[in-house]
Structure 1
Amino acid sequence: MHAAQPARPWYRSPLSLAIAATLACAPVTHVAAQDGEDGSAQAGAAVDLDTVVVTANKRVENVREVGASISVVGERQLENLGASSLSDYAALIPGMQVQSGGTPGLTSVSLRGIAAMSSGATVATYIDEVPVGSSGIYQAANVLMLDLLPYDITRVEVMRGPQGTLYGAGAIGGLLKYVTREPDLSVRETRVGLGLRSVQDGGEEWNGRFGASVPLQDDRLGLRVSFARNAIPGFTDNAVDGRRDIDEVEQTGARAALLWDGERTDMRLSLLRQRIRADDRSSVALDPDTQAPLDGHYVTRAWQPQPFEKTLTLAALGFDVDLGWADLVSASGWSKTDTRNQIDATIQFGEVANAMLGLPDPGSANVDYRFDLDKFTQEFRLASKTGGAFEWMAGVFYTKEDALQTQSVWLGQLDGSALPSPYDEMFSALGVLEMPSTYEETALFANLSWRLGERFKVDGGVRLARNEQWFSQNGTAGILVPIGEFPGRSSEDVFTWSLSPQWKLGEDTMVYVRAATGYQPGGPNVALPGMPSSVDSSMLDSYEVGLKSQFADRRVSLDLAAFRIDWDDIQVASSFNGIGGLVNGGEATSEGVELAMLLHPTAALSFGVNGAYTKAKVKNDFERTVIPQDGYDVVLNTGLAGDRLPYVPEWSWSAVAEYAFTLSGGYQGQAGAAWRWVGERVNSTSERQQVTAAGDPSTVLVEELTPPVEIGSYSALDLYAGIGRNNWELRAYVDNVTGRKAWSAVSPADSEVLGGRVHLAAVPILPRTVGLELDFRF
């Protein structure tokens, strides 16, 4: 139970269920070295850095010659850190922020301050050549980012800044790309591994993995299969019912890939399936005033179970055809994503039982979200051969999404049992809402690179896209949703471009300037008073100046970038009394500097430092939403001039160090450390709610201002070591060595019936975690 709350102001009407975008988006390195072809770490001279290649520009390129900010996390570093989710390695990437919702898969990602402030994502996600996740606004893409179990992954590429010309919708802030391991066409290889993991104040779990490459025809045809099971021990206890370690998570992933290397045609076929299943999620109940834990550092308050499950199935087919004068690439993908996210809504809706139904005591409630997404994509592109004065690429892209979101709100007694008769039949289903939607997009794009001599190069690109969307708001049951079907449609044309001149000041030093635009698709809106019938795309302009250099006999590598972003027509969620929709809020700016430096004093020793300064703020008061009431109007602003953008620290740093060694008897190993520091953040923008005379917004009767919650800074240290010989390797790691207690995300728990803030729900960073991994290769 919670303390009594002050009476609700007279102008706030009784509870209404959030029936759209607000609930749709509810719940809440640049690295030291690149892996070698055999999966081992390159511990040699710093010149090895020059072999790092990326495909983020849809060509195989040396990362040091790309006029854009790109970070690469290799397979080896993921293994050393015991990474099992984005949260485990995001701090190693300058300008990247990841907010956990309490379990892998319930994740929000932003780059360079372009935070997800609506139900659409601001960072596009790809697995190899195929986009994954929804481009629309009704699949909660902002908090359901792909969190791929990092096994059988050669590297993770992160491109910062808008990538609209090559990657289109949703890449307004940047790109997150997983590059999977291809079959080996000439060597049979098998890998088997087993691991154990223990979490401070929690339990223990095991993980296992298997991978094999089988040449089926020498140098022509190969098959790769893999399977991994990873479990994260629970460490959160529930003060309400006494359950312990409620937040156990199991991740499983399987993949099969077939590669044909022909004389003129290469073919890649792959099938991937991943499932995340969590019994509950990590959360800590905090005092809303002091932010001190109410019941303990890893103790939550939940009256209803909060299971989370997400299953991704992805089939991809790709062809590369050598036409002699150019290369033709076809990339086809089909994915199916099924997500269930149930949240405890007792604080929000439980008081319906006593305040609205007249029962003697408040009840308990939950909201069950289901997201079903079928997505098909097809891209054809024609690209010139590399190495000439002119390099060009032209293509066409098509995608079709069929999606369904359902929301079900259940009300019962506080102990979890059904309401007494006859209330159970009449009111246990407070609301049932279905929102089917479709998203269809066709785009044409082109890129051109022009080299002028040895030192100067200009890259440019354009993309013209058209999307058409349909959705329907179908209330099927309950007392808190409008019963009936309310369909909507939208269509829009979007043009994006990029331009990047590059100068080579020397063999190992390049300066570049990049200007680019990006967009986040809009769509049809919910049918609610005061909400527009549709929201427009969010657009931004980005300007960047960068330096990439190696010096001191290539023992030092330096990447430096300064940027300015102007963001317009920002999509934001606007809600009153639980009723929510999307509006185009206004403008914001983000400017900053990013640093990535790597030092090799010796062939065996390396140090790396990454840092980012980001100043991301709302430029002016967001557009007002006017919600007419009986005899008065409610005017909402969900962002005020000068507000910081959510979850963007002004400063963030990380440092890595590794020492590779060789012992007698053929033993080889490494030991390393990674330190990360994340500055203060806020969890949202300010919300101002005014009550005005009907039709007269200048006459303000009452005003209420809700500031964002400030989240403190934190630092954490990870250590790892490994040793191996011939075909085996033993690795150990300790993440968050000091057991630092800090928050990844914080959200308010407010009563929607009587008003008032009951507590804060904070998602902690992972406590001290000790792991041991053993791998055999043969």
Structure 2
Amino acid sequence: MYPPNLEMQMRRSSFPPPVLKLRKLATLLAPCLSALCAPAAWAQQAGGDAPAASKPAEARDTLDVVTVTATRRREPLRDVPLRVETLSATALEQSGANSLADYIGGLPGIDVKTDGGPGRGSVTMRGVSNGEQQIATVGMYVDEVAFGSSSAFVHGGVQALDLSLLDLNHVEVLRGPQGTLYGAGAMGGLLKYVTNEPDTSTFSGKVGLGVRSIQDGGIGHTENVVLNVPLSTDVAGLRIAAFNEHDGGFIRATGLAAGDKTNAGDTRGARLSLLLEPTSKMKVRLAATTQDIKRDGTDTVDYDATTGRPVVGDLARALATREPYTVKTRLVSADVEYDFGWARLNAIASTQRLDMDTAQDATALLGASAAAFDYARLDNTIGLHKKTQELRLTSGRGEVEWILGLYHDEERGNVGQLLFGQLAGNGGDMDLQANSQPSTYRETAVYGDITWNIGTAWSLTAGARFAKNKQHYAVVGAGPLDSDNHSDDDSKTYLATLRYSLDKTSSVYFRAASGYRPGGPNPPALDGNLQVIPGTPSSFNHDTLWSFELGYKADLLDRRLNLEAALYQINWNDLQQPMAYGVSTLVGNAGKARVRGLELAARYRASADWDLNGSLAYTDPKLTEDAPALGPAGSRLPNVAKIALTAGLRYSFPLAGHESYAGLNLRHVGQRNAGFDAEGSSVPNFSLPAYTMVDANWGLDLGRWQVSAFIRNLTNKQALLGADTALTAFGLPLHATVAQPRTIGGTVSFNF
């Protein structure tokens, strides 16, 4: 796991000993209120985006009923016995959000840590993170399809799906372990992109244009189009969407690769969806999505870990060579649904490809030998081909309801790496090391749950999932680290929920649920003399957690006030973590952790014109047993603020005879640790200061035309959103992710 093969080559080239133990390079080598929607999107829930003027007067005085698919059924959010938030795609677009960090990064209790920009992030929910994720702890879905790798070998822990708002309906955020219905990697929660279905009855479309300007940065723009075509009335429909987006960038580079706006780039994508309803009982949905993210460089800044200040200036870093990257996503899926009356059958299949090319300036890693080169660069080529099949049978509504499913996943991955340098004085390129790391992952799982509705007040749910996976991982071209290893792993997850309806509009629930991440094989480890160390673990085990949650949900004051509260504790065992053996880094299991938290959320429609929202999350995650590679018992887990909150308001008013609105939203994130204080930790600490940011937006509905404007980071706060500290132990700067400076923009769209 994470073979330090390039470090071995450096040793043979008489590079200094500290380089041999660089954990970062080793890692690169293998792989009281929580918002119900995004801060700038609070006033518009999924399914509730119609202009206020088009709603009956009585409807404008009440909150919209939000429907979600969190439990694999369509049901009102209020009736779902777990914490689910919905983010309206329309409102996110109006707020200027254009990346995963914008969508959910401001939700209390959720962290999006980017490894350089869009498409290179990891998501943490409820504090389930050790700072360096080998395998993701939050699952990703597009409609009914699982996305991304379940293994540790294709950088899946830092490849959270950063899907554009292209023809999305809404985004669902499920907190807490979802391992029973959604499987591996959903131990902290789940993020689900829900797309718009074709309309088989009406021809329609939308064209949109947007522009934005970053203070002291570049100009960005967005163009998008959606076309809905009924092929046969009420029988078949086709929906086509495409977009182009340019990000102007705001990072400045000094050194040999000096330049301005070095993190500028483009994102392009398209989506094709076909809906067939040949009978009243049968429904077939076919979809294909493509998206390409291309950036000229990363959006990180060099910071001094000791002083907490930028090394070469605000929004700047020193580069000997540029660090461009691309992320290409391809997803094709089919969902065939048949309603037998007593149950509904879904047969779901997908094939997906994820290709990522990254470049890292490795000049500083050469130490004293760097003088022989103008620069050195480490290129990674990462490829994943994944196929999934799922059969699911869902009963109709009644006293007893049940779900039974069978899931199969096959993945083929490869990581190719090349370390090369340009000799001093532009003396030409020299390859220093090259290797490849092919891997496979195959999983089969059976799952199900059963709900007993006891009278009109009580309901009891029990569920389980049993999964088995087989994996293969090899290293080729790394000299003594060349290997070919296999592993087998079994896992079980469980769910139990008790819900009690206090009345028709409020309920309390208790939920106990477990989650897991798969284990996998390890390569051999080498000592300082490049000899294989006997007895090192040939594989690592899955880690597991149990979550216990007590919650309350209510629609009060004639559906003008919505309240949610959740109190929970998570117990996490056998934490997966990078562990040093000689000059190699493998994955091992050690230590325990627990997370205690409180989440509160409220939405209040004070009148037909005023909407108020607020949310708060208190999260207290700690190690309860020593984790040798991380820290001792009592250490706080990284990337989570103890206190985070949001507050917002929206005012709707007539303007020149048309419906208009204005909104103001605030989010506060408390101090966070980027790692652990323990000496020798594989994730060294850096304190990330608390910050408060304010966004504003305005919009006008002109019938077929809509106009909106936004200001993100209104006060131009220089906030640190995250930090990569792996190199600080060797005297090198840390890479900090900074908040984008004040950004002003607007959109114009036309519906037909």
Which of these residues, 651, 654, 657, is aligned with residue 649 of structure 2? 657
| 1:298 matches 2:341 | no
1:699-714 alignment runs, 5 A limit: 707-714=684-691
Gaps of 5+ in 2: 1-15, 527-532
| 1:66 matches 2:80 | yes
Query: Which residue of 2 is the match for residue 701 of structure 1?
Result: none
Q: Is the 8 A contact 2:62 2:605 kept in 1?
A: no
Q: Is the 8 A contact 1:742 1:765 kept in 2?
A: yes
Query: Which residue of 2 is the match for residue 172 of structure 1?
Result: 187
With over 3 angstroms needed to count, the CA separation of the structure-2 counterparts of 1:270 and 1:233, relative to structure 1, is same
**Which SS does the other structure have where 1:647 is aligned?**
coil
**Which SS does the other structure have where 1:80 is aligned?**
helix
Query: Which residue of 2 is the match for residue 767 of structure 1?
Result: 741
After TM superposition, give the deviation of residue 49 of structure 1 in Å. Answer: 3.8
After TM superposition, give the deviation of residue 639 of structure 1 in Å. Answer: 2.3
The amino acid of 2:738's aligned partner reads P
Cα distance between partner residues in 2 of 1:739 and 1:538: 41
Query: Which residue of 2 is the match for residue 407 of structure 1?
Result: 417
Query: Which residue of 1 is the match for residue 116 of structure 2?
Result: 102
After TM superposition, give the deviation of residue 687 of structure 1 in Å. Answer: 4.5
Q: Is the 8 A contact 1:21 1:582 kept in 2?
A: no
| 1:375 matches 2:412 | no
The amino acid of 1:496's aligned partner reads T
With over 3 angstroms needed to count, the CA separation of the structure-2 counterparts of 1:24 and 1:225, relative to structure 1, is farther
Query: Which residue of 2 is the match for residue 617 of structure 1?
Result: 622
Query: Which residue of 2 is the match for residue 286 of structure 1?
Result: 303
**Which SS does the other structure have where 1:639 is aligned?**
coil
Q: Is the 8 A contact 1:467 1:493 kept in 2?
A: yes
**Which SS does the other structure have where 2:20 is aligned?**
coil
**Which SS does the other structure have where 1:547 is aligned?**
strand
After TM superposition, give the deviation of residue 142 of structure 1 in Å. Answer: 1.5
After TM superposition, give the deviation of residue 706 of structure 1 in Å. Answer: 8.3
Query: Which residue of 1 is the match for residue 12 of structure 2?
Result: none
Query: Which residue of 2 is the match for residue 670 of structure 1?
Result: 661
Q: Is the 8 A contact 2:148 2:161 kept in 1?
A: yes
**Which SS does the other structure have where 2:117 is aligned?**
coil
After TM superposition, give the deviation of residue 430 of structure 1 in Å. Answer: 2.3
| 1:758 matches 2:750 | no
Cα distance between partner residues in 1 of 2:598 and 2:565: 7
Output one character per residue of 1:33-83: Cα deviation in whole Å (capped at 9) or x when no partner: 445758435686577545211012111011100000101101222112111
The amino acid of 1:732's aligned partner reads A
After TM superposition, give the deviation of residue 539 of structure 1 in Å. Answer: 0.3
**Which SS does the other structure have where 2:108 is aligned?**
coil
Output one character per residue of 1:113-142: Cα deviation in whole Å (capped at 9) or x when no partner: 001633210000000010110000011112
Query: Which residue of 1 is the match for residue 679 of structure 2?
Result: 688
After TM superposition, give the deviation of residue 580 of structure 1 in Å. Answer: 2.0
The amino acid of 1:364's aligned partner reads Y
1:621-632 alignment runs, 5 A limit: 621-623=626-628
Q: Is the 8 A contact 2:108 2:669 kept in 1?
A: no
Query: Which residue of 2 is the match for residue 601 of structure 1?
Result: 606
Cα distance between partner residues in 2 of 1:282 and 1:587: 34
1:442-461 alignment runs, 5 A limit: 442-461=444-463
Q: Is the 8 A contact 1:736 1:767 kept in 2?
A: yes
With over 3 angstroms needed to count, the CA separation of the structure-2 counterparts of 1:523 and 1:92, relative to structure 1, is same
**Which SS does the other structure have where 1:516 is aligned?**
strand
| 1:571 matches 2:576 | yes
Q: Is the 8 A contact 2:637 2:676 kept in 1?
A: yes
Output one character per residue of 1:595-628: Cα deviation in whole Å (capped at 9) or x when no partner: 11111110221011111000011112114xxxxx
Q: Is the 8 A contact 1:17 1:579 kept in 2?
A: no
**Which SS does the other structure have where 2:441 is aligned?**
strand
**Which SS does the other structure have where 2:482 is aligned?**
strand
Cα distance between partner residues in 1 of 2:497 and 2:29: 37
Q: Is the 8 A contact 1:517 1:542 kept in 2?
A: yes
Identity %: 34
Cα distance between partner residues in 2 of 1:228 and 1:147: 15
Cα distance between partner residues in 2 of 1:418 and 1:498: 62
After TM superposition, give the deviation of residue 363 of structure 1 in Å. Answer: 4.9
Runs of 4+ in 1 over 3 A off after TM superposition: 11-14, 16-21, 33-39, 41-50, 350-354, 575-579, 686-689, 704-707, 748-751
Cα distance between partner residues in 1 of 2:583 and 2:61: 57
Cα distance between partner residues in 2 of 1:527 and 1:160: 37
Cα distance between partner residues in 2 of 1:706 and 1:385: 49
TM-score by length of 2: 0.91
Q: Is the 8 A contact 2:301 2:315 kept in 1?
A: yes
Q: Is the 8 A contact 1:35 1:41 kept in 2?
A: no
Query: Which residue of 1 is the match for residue 251 of structure 2?
Result: 236
Q: Is the 8 A contact 2:30 2:415 kept in 1?
A: no
**Which SS does the other structure have where 2:716 is aligned?**
coil
Query: Which residue of 1 is the match for residue 638 of structure 2?
Result: 646
Gaps of 5+ in 1: 1-10, 624-636, 690-703
Query: Which residue of 2 is the match for residue 251 of structure 1?
Result: 267
Q: Is the 8 A contact 1:105 1:146 kept in 2?
A: yes
Cα distance between partner residues in 1 of 2:148 and 2:26: 17
Output one character per residue of 1:707-731: Cα deviation in whole Å (capped at 9) or x when no partner: 5111111111010001121100111
Aligned length: 716
Query: Which residue of 2 is the match for residue 394 of structure 1?
Result: 404
Output one character per residue of 1:482-525: Cα deviation in whole Å (capped at 9) or x when no partner: 35630111111111100000001111111000000000111001
**Which SS does the other structure have where 2:91 is aligned?**
helix
Q: Is the 8 A contact 1:350 1:365 kept in 2?
A: no
Which of these residues, 26, 36, 54, is aligned with residue 30 of structure 1? 36
1:152-231 alignment runs, 5 A limit: 152-231=167-246
After TM superposition, give the deviation of residue 640 of structure 1 in Å. Answer: 2.0
Q: Which moved more, 1:165-174 or 1:142-151?
A: 142-151
The amino acid of 1:300's aligned partner reads R
Cα distance between partner residues in 2 of 1:91 and 1:760: 21
Query: Which residue of 1 is the match for residue 276 of structure 2?
Result: 260
Cα distance between partner residues in 1 of 2:412 and 2:350: 14
Cα distance between partner residues in 1 of 2:423 and 2:143: 49
Q: Is the 8 A contact 2:352 2:386 kept in 1?
A: yes
With over 3 angstroms needed to count, the CA separation of the structure-2 counterparts of 1:413 and 1:638, relative to structure 1, is farther
Q: Which moved more, 1:442-451 or 1:293-302?
A: 293-302
The amino acid of 2:362's aligned partner reads A
Q: Is the 8 A contact 2:19 2:367 kept in 1?
A: no
After TM superposition, give the deviation of residue 350 of structure 1 in Å. Answer: 5.0
The amino acid of 1:469's aligned partner reads Q
